């Protein structure tokens, strides 16, 4: 099968039975920018979610965690421009109210409507605008891309994808839209991701697969190391494809897993690539680690180093910074054994300077995508993490604000 | 006693019996800048040290750890401009050779001479220049400040202090010199600190007190969260004050402890204030934590947040970033209970927006020193950490390099 996974348009409304809509309701200062959106299925879905581990989670995260205990959901309402975080009891009431308004608008039970917010922390939601906004939203199966735009804050572009593939010989789809990592005042942001599929899936297996996919994608990216209060990833499976519900034992389970990994990894990379001020996507691949935990520590450790992020911005193959970040990350290593490659150029051999062509290394560093490969030569485990460079743009977005 | 601790000049050569000297030997590209220095005592000292926890430690760190097992040392030789890290067996041989050359120059046993390096990672030391440099160093009891200058890399100014106080009625001194955190190519750097005293101290107690003082000072600062391969803090006590050696039971032990804390805290704050590109010193004080570990997590968590560092640079009292960093740091907290103050202005009350004067908060943020206070209202533990803002200057120092 040469095209086992085919890319199609409309992201979250690509799978059958999903509709979306978005409006500009005035939460953001620019009244022309869409800042409120609904994504809904025609029928109730099996749903799964993963959330920030912050101890100051935003109100919508608390709502999602509660409603998702049922394993079911049918819609989500999302606003950008206001995070509804550090807003206390009132904030929590507003989150439930927002979901309730969307449920009434859609004519479905309120317990089946989730909600998300993203934007500035510490301000109450403008509920009147949200109420009017929700009433004005018209849903359509063609509006997935509108939804993907309305959830953005400091992102420079939407991040969306949909794949078409076969389950039990039927053509099915899996779509996704996400917004990027980074927080900016007055449009403080966070990472949100919505995934939809018409495949029928058993809930427990769906939750397990989502958690595993997120661990290898969204949990392996960083822009600045700052963790958000609102991070949310939701997956809706409405079963309209009519297949026998997927679980571990289903022969097509691996194909669904592969589609999910492709979608989440694509969206995660797009977030890293569009980090605040970023000009380059960094991929760090660690192999030869003693175990998976060590591999993750090392891969993430390199993406998180501001000094290496700066070197990347400057196109400087200054591998001493990789060595320092590797030493600091806490992974098991033998200082006289590890190798480091920048692109195909081996810069470190057995822990010390390799003999390499400086010009070749600089040429690799000049590209818009740079891959660092580390071989620890201690075992078989590997991991991949993604990040971006650190530039004036990051500083500007986060110091220059509108009063 | 109104002046229990009096500040005096000459830092590391302020205590009796310590001498220092420095030369420019050509390790740094600018041949006029001093880059090699020796600090020595006239007699063998009881010595203690703390080091980086990096798993890729520089060669001099390995030497110090080995020689310090004896608990004795008499001198240290330090070069800036080259870190002697990721240099393998040759690097280790060079570190031992460097100490040996200094020992021969001083006419003392080689096992009593420690060494440190700071600068670029991955290049072998220019041993010929170092050999000639060591031979040219003339030591004097007036050269403490020269020593403090020769150990610098990207620091904009020396960091040094000496205090005079009484032990058993005798006038004694404790001095220190340090260089700052931050790594820059081609003058990649690290944190180094040298402390000297003429007080007689038992070695085990000295090591314990140094570890405790470092934990509350150098281990509570951050510039960019990057940990170095060369971090070293050495304390030499030559006993020339002639007192009965201090230990926990000595009645003047608290006074020595207080002097040591004052010196290490002062030097640590100076490092944070002079972080690469920094324009502001940030102090974060956490109180009301359940335990000390939580207090440290929270205080360090705030200083490590690039988003809050950017807000500080912009003078923006954007406390949502403090809330986000607090939620992410892993400390135990009640999201509806914590208070946050920026200077004296309470911006968060019980986890949500307090009613405060925006102009007053902006005025506090405009100063060159900003203190954030967090009360978790969960217990009695507290901690203080120091950091700095994140500016274009940091990016420039770490992307714009000399080829």
B186 vs A342: which has the higher pLDDT: A342
| pLDDT in the model for residue A347 | 97
Confidence of residue B403 (pLDDT cuts 50, 70, 90): very low
Best A231, A279, A332, A352 member to test B by mutation, with max B CBs in 10 Å, is A352
Which of A307-316, B64-73, B201-210 is least confident? A307-316
| pLDDT in the model for residue A154 | 82
The token pair that represents A67 in the structure block? 């409603």
CB-CB neighbors (< 8 A) of A392 in chain B: 392, 395
Q: Are A178 and A194 in contact (CB under 8 A)?
A: yes
Q: What is the topology classification, in CATH, of domain A281-399?
A: Ubiquitin-like (UB roll) (3.10.20)
Contact B122 A328 (CB under 8 A): no
| pLDDT in the model for residue B186 | 39
Helix axes A203-216 and A253-273, enclosed angle (nearest 10): 40
Read off the pLDDT of residues A373-402 as tens digits, 9 standing for 90 and up. Answer: 999 999 999 999 999 999 998 888 888 653
Q: Is A129 annotated as a binding residue?
A: no
Return the percentage of chain B with pLDDT > 90, whole number: 84
Read off the pLDDT of residues B333-383 as tens digits, 9 standing for 90 and up. Answer: 999 999 999 999 999 999 999 999 999 999 999 999 999 999 999 999 999
Q: Is-catalytic flag, B190? A: yes
Q: Which of B50, B118, B190, B264 is catalytic?
A: B190
With left for phi above 0 and alpha for psi between -120 and 50, is residue B277 left, alpha or beta? Answer: left
**C-alpha distances in Å from residue A98, one per residue of A113, A368, B388:** 9, 41, 40
Query: Which residue in A130, A164, A153 sits closest to A397, CA to CA?
Result: A153
Shortest CA gap A326–chain B (Å)? 8
Q: Is B398 annotated as a binding residue?
A: yes
Using DSSP, state whether B356 is helix, strand or coil: coil
Domains B6-273 and B281-399 equal at CATH topology level:
no
Q: Which of A54, A226, A307 sits opposite B226 (nearest CB)?
A: A307
Best B154, B355, B398, B401 member to test A by mutation, with max A CBs in 10 Å, is B398
The CATH number corresponding to A6-273 among 1.10.8.60, 3.30.200.20, 3.60.70.12, 3.40.50.1820 equals 3.60.70.12
Q: How many CB atoms lie within 10 A of CB B254?
A: 10
Query: DSSP assignment, residue B245?
Result: P
Contact A395 B392 (CB under 8 A): yes
Spans of all domains in chain B = 6-273, 281-399
Query: Which residue in B290, B288, B379 sits closest to B341, CA to CA?
Result: B288
Contact B314 A350 (CB under 8 A): no
Q: Are A80 and A190 in contact (CB under 8 A)?
A: no
DSSP string, B252-303: THHHHHHHHHHHHHHHHHHHHHT-TT---EEEEEEEEESSHHHHHHHHHHHH
Separation CA B68–CA B45 (nearest Å)? 11
| pLDDT in the model for residue B3 | 79
Q: Which of B310, B327, B390 sits opposite A54 (nearest CB)?
A: B327
Q: Which of A226, A330, A395 sits opposite B325 (nearest CB)?
A: A226
**C-alpha distances in Å from residue B21, one per residue of A174, B13, B45, B137, B259:** 70, 10, 18, 6, 25
Contact B122 A398 (CB under 8 A): no
Q: Is A398 annotated as a binding residue?
A: yes
Q: Which residue stretches of B366-403 are H helix?
A: 392-399
| pLDDT in the model for residue B190 | 67
Confidence of residue B181 (pLDDT cuts 50, 70, 90): low
Average pLDDT, integer, range A273-296: 95
DSSP string, A120-142: ESS----HHHHHHHHHH---BTT
SS (H, E, C) A207-258: HHHHHHHHHHCHHHECCCCCCCCCCEEEEEECCCCCCCCECCCCCCHHHHHH
**C-alpha distances in Å from residue B356, one per residue of B23, B122, B174, B349, B353:** 55, 52, 44, 10, 9
Contact A333 B83 (CB under 8 A): no
Separation CA A308–CA A325 (nearest Å)? 8
CB-CB neighbors (< 8 A) of B120 in chain A: 320
User: Residue B187 pLDDT more than 90?
Assistant: no
CB-CB neighbors (< 8 A) of B53 in chain A: 328
Confidence of residue B400 (pLDDT cuts 50, 70, 90): low
């Amino acid at each position: 099968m040469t095209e086992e996974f085919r890319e199609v348009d409309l992201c979250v409304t690509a799978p059958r039975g999903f509709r979306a809509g978005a409006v500009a309701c005035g939460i953001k200062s620019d009244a022309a920018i869409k800042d409120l959106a609904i994504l809904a299925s025609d029928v109730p879905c099996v749903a799964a979610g993963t959330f920030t581990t912050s101890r100051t989670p935003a109100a919508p995260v608390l709502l999602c965690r509660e409603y998702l205990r049922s394993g079911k959901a049918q819609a989500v309402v999302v606003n950008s421009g206001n995070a509804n975080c550090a807003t206390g009891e009132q904030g929590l009431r507003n989150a439930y109210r927002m979901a309730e308004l969307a449920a009434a608008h859609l004519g479905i039970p309120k317990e089946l409507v989730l909600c998300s917010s993203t934007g500035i922390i510490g301000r109450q939601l403008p509920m009147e605008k949200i109420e009017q906004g929700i009433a004005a939203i018209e849903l359509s199966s063609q509006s997935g891309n509108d939804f993907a735009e309305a959830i953005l804050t400091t992102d420079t572009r939407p991040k969306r994808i949909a794949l078409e593939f076969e389950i039990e010989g039927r053509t099915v789809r899996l779509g996704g839209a996400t917004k990027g990592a980074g927080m900016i005042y007055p449009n403080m942001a966070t990472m949100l991701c919505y995934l939809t599929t018409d495949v029928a899936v058993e809930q427990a297996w769906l939750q397990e697969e989502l958690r595993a996919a997120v661990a290898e994608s969204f949990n392996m990216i960083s822009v600045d190391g700052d963790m958000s209060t609102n991070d949310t990833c939701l997956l809706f499976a409405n079963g309209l494809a009519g297949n026998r519900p997927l679980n571990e034992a289903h022969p097509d389970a691996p194909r669904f897993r592969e589609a999910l990994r492709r979608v989440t990894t694509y969206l995660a990379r797009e977030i890293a690539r569009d980090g605040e001020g970023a000009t380059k996507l960094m991929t760090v691949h660690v192999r030869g680690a003693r175990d998976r935990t060590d591999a993750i520590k090392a891969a993430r450790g390199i993406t998180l180093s501001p000094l290496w992020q700066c070197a990347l911005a400057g196109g400087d193959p200054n591998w001493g910074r990789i060595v320092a970040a590797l030493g600091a990350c806490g992974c098991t290593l033998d200082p006289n054994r590890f190798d480091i490659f920048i692109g195909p150029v081996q810069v470190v051999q057995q822990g010390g300077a390799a003999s390499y062509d400086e010009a070749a290394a600089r040429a690799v560093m000049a590209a818009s995508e740079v891959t660092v490969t580390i071989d620890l030569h201690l075992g078989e485990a590997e991991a991949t993490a993604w990040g971006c460079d650190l530039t004036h743009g990051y500083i500007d977005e986060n110091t220059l604000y509108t009063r």
